[in-house]
Amino acid sequence: MGQSLMKKFATSVAFAAALGAATAVVPASAETLRMAWSQDATGLDPHKQTAFSSLRLLELVYEPLVRLNADLEIIPALAESWEFSEDGKTLTFKLDADAKFQNGEKVTPADVKASFERVLDEATGAAARANFTSIESIDTPDETTVVFNLSQPDVPMLTAMTGINAAVVPASEIEAGTIGTKAIGSGPFKLDSWEPNQKEVLSANPDWAGGEVKVDGIDISVLPDETAILAALRTKQVDFALINDPLVATLVPNEASLELSRTPVLAYHVLQLNPSREPMTEQAVRQAISCAIDRQDVLDTALLGEGAVTGPLTMPAYRSDPGALFCYERDVEKAKQLMADAGYEDGFSATVIAATGEPPTAAAEAQVIQSQLAEIGIKLDIKMMELNVYVDTWLKGDFDMAVALNGGRADPYSMYNRYWTKDGNLQHVANYIDDTLDSLMQEGRVETDFDKRKEIFAKFETHLAEVSPWIWLYTGYTYTAQQKNVKGFVPSPTGTLFGLTEVSVGE
Amino acid sequence: MQLLRAIFSHSSGRIGGAIVGLYIIIAILGLLGITPHDPLMQFRVDRLHAPDATYWMGTDLFGRDVASRLMLGISQSFIVAFASVALAAVAGIVLGLAAAWFGGWWDGTIMRFMDVLLAFPAILLALLIIAIVGPGTWTSVMAIAIVYTPIFTRVVRGPALSLKTRDFVDAARTFGSSRNYILTRHLMLNLVAPLTVQVTLALAWGLLTEAGLSFLGLGTQPPASSLGLMLADSRNLMEMAPWLLIFPGIAIMIGILGFNLLGDALRDILDPRTRRSAA
Amino acid sequence: MNYLARRLMTFPLVMLGVSVLVFVSIRLVPGDAITAMLGTEAGLLTPDQRAALEAYFGIDQGWFTQYWRWLAGAVQGDLGVSVTFGKPVLDVILERFPLTLELALLSMVIALAIGLPAGIFAATRNEKPSDLAVRIFAMIGQSTPNFVFALLAIYVLSVGFGVLPAMGEFTPFLENPLRNLGQMILPALTLGFAFAAAVTRISRSAMLDILSDDYIRTARAKGVPARKVIWRHALPNALIPVVTLSGVEFGYLLGGAVIVEQIFALPGLGRMVLDAILQRDYALVQGSVLFIALNFMIVNLLVDLAYAMLDPRIRLGGK
């Protein structure tokens, strides 16, 4: 452990202690929202963190240039307006002149430039860097204008900029090396204290340029077990909670004083096959698996029907009727025929990996899939792994099949370029690529006309479902549960809790 | 034979023996597949079905028969408990005897190593081992065995040490008995009593630890079942389907109770010092 | 004193062993702090990015160098910095420890308050129905895994009585004792139940042993009232095994009750170590396992010393 890191932490401890002392004096207001979730943030650096749980927290503290609304349309955040040049190679933003960081400094084009340069700097270790590699240079011609010069037209980049991984942070904090230890953003809430895996205390930011927050603050408790969250809701110790497990969520409406809201999300449940391993190298075998799986049945059993069967494209603007895709109607006879064609009429054995508790339904999904595939002679061994072990195994592509819940994006290119392009970063995990997929992805990347893009990606989806490197299953919901006196929360398919800015706690 | 008769004339031994016997029969039936239904068969139309004449203990999330799964679970839990205790006992005997016999540097090294294992929080040690090797029945067995080895080592080393210095060992030595002969014959005879008691009690702990690990999702892998796994799965469903919690919960309690009662009885029978206290 | 010195001398050796074991085993587990932070997105990192993050998390050096650095710090009381908390490991541990200590103390109080009277009562009613009832109850108590007890308790309380344990944000004792106890009572009962059963059993059998000893018989024969015999003469001696058992059990509880803390959402030591393992916070895992091991050894040493003090017949080091 470096000495400088130690020092950074030491200052942040002093900082946190000072804040702790300050907040202790302020009496707890009735307007504070008491919230609970089961998974805590893993860190405070908006450019580095990629876990859902971290993003949910950081979205309340930091702001990107633009954000997505509940209909996944791009709306202003720090930027008032933006436009692409004719050739699609310059992207210009006008900043909100009122925007201020929580340390009182104005948000300037220099901060934007410094933030993106930090993301692009390999020494930062920002996983989101891959989305922004077409940025060649950044100009700051005046007090409110930022110009991104791109090496090629890059339509999906604007969508990538809506993520908190593209948050604008103060240039002075980058200089001081305190990003990740102090959370100083320009967002609706200030992070007063954070006890990892225990709680965080947020207070409303009165200087937020985006409007007025209706609560004084949010106290978040981390309750590792969702049954405990349900208990806390029932005993009114928590006003608002995030729930992942559909089995727990479906119990919420049983309580008269509680409300459950659910929104379909972009993340998709999938059975990943590994086409580099025998016999999944055979397209017929992969197709047989696709035909043998009854997606609706897996959904009904493992998630109690809480979700909708989907093809690869999960965003509402691109989503199509999955019934039209290859073998989305279960067809065991066809599956057996395909197995026989490939020379596997007697079936084969394979191992499927799944992460314990991530998603909470993983073990159940694996077991239903196992029983369905047994019907065409495929004998599956289930290996449940601790999440981190699973991730390590997954990244090495060291599996026959994997039950996964993969994150979705509002743009199909940003969502899938890592897997289904020839130089995708995770091509060694996907282990399947063909010219059709690659060229459709490249076409989609540069096309600016929405209808044409939609057509391109519809072809992409049809082809992907047919060659079946993976078996897309369904999308689930994001759940929030709240007491009836909590009003105004608007959920979003991205799962963001930004809607908390509109929330008020009544009597 | 004599021991069996003694157990059955002992009040708690009788009950404990009966419970353990019954569980072993259930475990064997479960292993042979003689169950009311196929424990892996998913009767999808009867998901979360309450107990009735067809499904004596109801069905789970997948429509699998809980009674059949309980039988399979008992056999799985017993296999893990017996195998891990056997392994720990063998390792403990070897290490304990080695420490006592060779003494000196050997003794110090072995016993300090056992101290290290004892001071290491047990469930975390098991958890780390499983995370390294990957979960599965035999990993659980190994992890639990490692956790319990120090206890057996200590149980063996103490009496072995005191026996080693006794005259009859010396006498045997002067009469030219081989070293191995002394080790196996004399020492083992005097160690059998405390070991038998320890093994029975450790079986109860083995059941408990297996359940704990499976409860954390690191023990038995689905779709096989074990008592801990069934309990873990009942966690989010206990309001909709309380039978998923109650039957495995009671089954594990009674199983552990059986070993505890048997262990108590054996202690009374084999250890003359405590015989009078709990006749 | 010689014995004490000899025991204390093994401490550093055992601690060294524990530290090596935890150091190696946590690193053998697949995945590291980077995959813990990024999940599958870690696959998007370029080699340079990965190297930068490894340096940031202090895992860029070889194991031996890492261990040597850590050890050099540890002997000076510096256990390193937790990457998840961004604080010195010792601070993090000491923040969580009070809860674990409180839980262990509460469970022990419950266990002794129930177990001791029950055990003595049963001993004086040897083989009568009330003795049998106590023994059966104790046997069941000892045979119930604590998570089974916890789940059944939650189920019975919530479904049967509509009462639920307080599981919101945890309140420290000093902040609001009543609310704190409201949150702690069920977990403490869960841990105390099996503990009480063990105390009952051991105090009963110890009491029976002593009541049949010669000097007690003599006292009785001399006409000393039964009550006085029990309280003045028998109890002090019967306490010896109870103290030993409670001490050892207490030592285990100080290590944190992983599953019970998880079920009742308590931010104690056990949950902290589990989280640290899951997040591959190496320094925190190493520090806390060492802390737990040291506690365990100290408590056991104290138990042995107390044993020697209570029972003059025992000479330590004699075995």
Question: Residue B227 is part of a domain; what is its CATH number?
Answer: 1.10.3720.10
The reply to whether residue B215 touches residue C142, judged by beta carbons under 8 angstroms, is no
The reply to whether residue A50 touches residue C49, judged by beta carbons under 8 angstroms, is no
On whether the CB atoms of residues B59 and B43 are closer than 8 A, the answer is: yes
Range A87-104 average pLDDT: 93
- d(CA C285, CA C277) in angstroms, rounded, equals 6
- d(CA A436, CA A60) in angstroms, rounded, equals 40
A405-444 residue pLDDT tens: 998 988 999 899 999 999 888 999 999 999 999 999 999 9
Predicted confidence at residue A22, as pLDDT, reads 35
Question: A130 in helix, strand or coil?
Answer: helix
Give B-chain residues touching C155 at CB under 8 angstroms.
238-239, 242, 245
Residues 88-117 of C with CB under 8 A from A: 88, 91, 95
* Strand pairing category for A199-204 and A217-222: antiparallel
Predicted confidence at residue B183, as pLDDT, reads 60
Residue at B136 is within a domain: yes
On whether the CB atoms of residues C254 and C215 are closer than 8 A, the answer is: no
pLDDT top residue among A111 and B2: A111
| Nearest alpha carbon to residue C202 among C129, C112, C128, C127 | C112
- d(CA C274, CA C79) in angstroms, rounded, equals 18
Predicted confidence at residue A25, as pLDDT, reads 36
Residue at B134 is within a domain: yes
Q: For residue B188, what pLDDT band results from cuts at 50, 70 and 90?
A: low
Question: C154 in helix, strand or coil?
Answer: helix
Give A-chain residues touching B222 at CB under 8 angstroms.
363, 366-367, 382, 384
Question: A190 in helix, strand or coil?
Answer: strand
Where helices occur in A268-410 by DSSP H, the ranges are 283-292, 295-302, 332-341, 362-374, 387-395
Region of poorest pLDDT, from A3-7, A357-361, B256-260, C186-190: A3-7
The overall average pLDDT reported for chain A is 90
Predicted confidence at residue B274, as pLDDT, reads 46
On whether the CB atoms of residues C276 and C284 are closer than 8 A, the answer is: yes
Predicted confidence at residue C157, as pLDDT, reads 82
On whether the CB atoms of residues C83 and A152 are closer than 8 A, the answer is: no
Residue at B92 is within a domain: yes
Predicted confidence at residue C218, as pLDDT, reads 78
B1-58 residue pLDDT tens: 677 888 888 878 899 999 999 999 999 999 998 899 999 889 888 888 999 988 999 9
Residue at B276 is within a domain: no
pLDDT top residue among C44 and B176: C44
Asked whether the predicted pLDDT for residue B159 surpasses 90, the reply is no
CB pairs under 8 A between A and C: 164
- d(CA B55, CA A34) in angstroms, rounded, equals 43
A306-351 residue pLDDT tens: 999 999 999 999 998 899 999 999 999 999 999 999 999 999 999 9
Predicted confidence at residue A187, as pLDDT, reads 95
Environment class of C77 (CB within 10 Å of its CB; exposed 0-12, middle 13-18, buried 19+)? exposed
CA trace torsion B226, B228, B233, B239 (10° rounding): 120
On whether the CB atoms of residues C274 and C281 are closer than 8 A, the answer is: no
On whether the CB atoms of residues A478 and A265 are closer than 8 A, the answer is: yes
The reply to whether residue B131 touches residue A297, judged by beta carbons under 8 angstroms, is no
The reply to whether residue A385 touches residue B235, judged by beta carbons under 8 angstroms, is no
Residues 27-86 of A with CB under 8 A from C: 34, 36, 42-43, 48-51
| A1: contact with C, CB 8 A cutoff | yes
- d(CA A4, CA A328) in angstroms, rounded, equals 56
The reply to whether residue A360 touches residue B40, judged by beta carbons under 8 angstroms, is no
Predicted confidence at residue A270, as pLDDT, reads 97
Preceding peptide of B242 cis, ω within 30°: no
Q: Which DSSP string corresponds to B148-167? A: HHHHHHHHHHHHHHHHHTSH
Predicted confidence at residue A440, as pLDDT, reads 96
B57-101 residue pLDDT tens: 999 999 999 999 999 999 999 999 999 999 999 999 999 989 988
C25, C27, C32, C44: best mutation site toward chain A, by most A Cβ within 10 Å?
C44
Give B-chain residues touching C256 at CB under 8 angstroms.
121
Range A1-29 average pLDDT: 39
Residue at B277 is within a domain: no
Q: How long is chain C?
A: 319
Range A5-15 average pLDDT: 41
Range B240-259 average pLDDT: 92
Backbone angles phi, psi at A317, to 5 degrees: -65, -25
Predicted confidence at residue B171, as pLDDT, reads 62
Residue A278 makes CB contacts below 8 A (sequence gap 6+) with none
Domain span holding position B196:
2-270
Q: For residue B182, what pLDDT band results from cuts at 50, 70 and 90?
A: low
C43-99 residue pLDDT tens: 888 889 989 899 888 888 889 999 999 999 998 889 999 988 888 999 999 999 999
- d(CA A483, CA C106) in angstroms, rounded, equals 33
Predicted confidence at residue A16, as pLDDT, reads 38
Tokens found for residue C225: 């009232």
**% residues pLDDT > 70 (chain A):** 94
Residues 232-271 of C with CB under 8 A from B: 255-256, 258-259
The structure tokens 């009742």 sit at: C264
Predicted confidence at residue B167, as pLDDT, reads 56
The residues of chain C scoring below 70 in pLDDT are 1, 162, 164-166, 168, 311-319
Region of poorest pLDDT, from A71-85, A249-263, B188-202, C117-131: B188-202
The overall average pLDDT reported for chain B is 85
Asked whether the predicted pLDDT for residue B153 surpasses 90, the reply is yes
Residue at B128 is within a domain: yes
Residue of A nearest to B229 (CA): A363
Predicted confidence at residue C132, as pLDDT, reads 85
Residue at B170 is within a domain: yes
On whether the CB atoms of residues C101 and C254 are closer than 8 A, the answer is: yes
Region of poorest pLDDT, from A73-77, A144-148, A502-506, C106-110: A502-506
The reply to whether residue C152 touches residue B249, judged by beta carbons under 8 angstroms, is yes
What pTM was estimated for this model as a whole? 0.88
The reply to whether residue A1 touches residue C69, judged by beta carbons under 8 angstroms, is yes
The reply to whether residue A387 touches residue C278, judged by beta carbons under 8 angstroms, is yes
Region of poorest pLDDT, from A23-27, A276-280, B127-131, C191-195: A23-27
Q: For residue B275, what pLDDT band results from cuts at 50, 70 and 90?
A: very low
The reply to whether residue B44 touches residue A301, judged by beta carbons under 8 angstroms, is yes
Residue at B275 is within a domain: no
Structurally, how many domains does chain B consist of? 1
Residues 385-404 of A with CB under 8 A from C: 386-389, 391-395
Predicted confidence at residue C292, as pLDDT, reads 93
The reply to whether residue A1 touches residue C278, judged by beta carbons under 8 angstroms, is no
How many other C-beta atoms are found inside a 10 Å radius of the C-beta of residue B184? 12
DSSP 8-state secondary structure symbol assigned to residue A225: S
Question: A98 in helix, strand or coil?
Answer: coil
Positive/negative CA dihedral, A153, A158, A164, A167: positive
Tokens found for residue C280: 């591959």
A208-263 residue pLDDT tens: 999 899 999 999 999 888 888 988 898 888 999 999 999 999 999 988 899 999 99
**% residues pLDDT > 90 (chain A):** 73
| Nearest alpha carbon to residue A248 among A303, A321, A176, A326 | A303
Predicted confidence at residue C191, as pLDDT, reads 93
